[in-house]
């Protein structure tokens, strides 16, 4: 059990994922889209704020 746990820790350090690769890619894509969407919303808010303050 201890050996397994240390292996998991090492894989996290190496940036490897325990999840199957296809699902990992799917999650990465989802997070990428979420991040991009959040960025768009943020820039829209900044733009709106600039218009209001002008």
pTM higher than 0.75, yes or no?
Answer: no
d(CA 3, CA 15): 19
Q: Is residue 6, in this structure, part of any structural domain at all?
A: no
Q: Is residue 10, in this structure, part of any structural domain at all?
A: no
Judge contact between 11 and 18, C-beta under 8 A: yes
Domain hosting 52: range is: 19-54
- Dump pLDDT digits (tens) for 1-54: 555 555 655 655 556 556 566 777 788 888 889 999 999 999 999 999 999 987
Q: What is the pLDDT of residue 13?
A: 58
Q: Is residue 50, in this structure, part of any structural domain at all?
A: yes
Judge contact between 26 and 19, C-beta under 8 A: no
First-to-last C-alpha distance (Å) of the chain? 63
Q: What is the pLDDT of residue 24?
A: 74
Q: How many CB atoms lie within 10 A of CB 20?
A: 9
Q: Is residue 14, in this structure, part of any structural domain at all?
A: no
Number of domains, the chain: 1
Q: Is residue 41, in this structure, part of any structural domain at all?
A: yes
Q: What is the pLDDT of residue 23?
A: 74
Q: What is the 3-state secondary structure (H, E, C) of 16-35?
A: CCCCCHHHHHHHHHHHHHHH
Q: What is the pLDDT of residue 54?
A: 75
């Amino acid at each position: 059990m201890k050996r397994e746990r240390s292996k998991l820790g090492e894989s996290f350090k190496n940036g490897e994922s325990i999840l199957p690769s296809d699902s990992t890619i799917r999650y990465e894509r989802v997070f990428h889209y979420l991040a991009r969407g959040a960025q768009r919303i943020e820039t829209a808010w900044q733009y709106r704020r600039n218009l209001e303050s002008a």
